[in-house]
Amino acid sequence: MRKTALFAAIVLAAPAFAEGPVTTTVEGAFDDVKFDVETAITNAGLVIDSVNHVGAMLERTKEDVGGTETLFTAADIYTFCSAEVSRMAMEADPMNLQHCPYGIFVYETPDAPGQVTVGHRAYPGESMGVVTELLGGIIGEALEGY
pLDDT digits (tens, 9 = 90+) for 32-82: 999 999 999 999 999 999 999 999 999 999 999 999 999 999 999 999 999
Distance CA 6, CA 14 (A): 12
The CATH number of 18-142 is 3.30.310.70
Mean local confidence (pLDDT), 113-140: 97
The answer to whether 41 and 48 have CB atoms below 8 angstroms apart is yes
Distance CA 82, CA 99 (A): 12
The answer to whether 61 and 69 have CB atoms below 8 angstroms apart is no
Average pLDDT along the chain: 91
Which residues have C-beta within 8 Å of that of residue 18, sequence separation ≥ 6?
121, 122, 123, 124
Element (H, E) at 31: helix 30-43
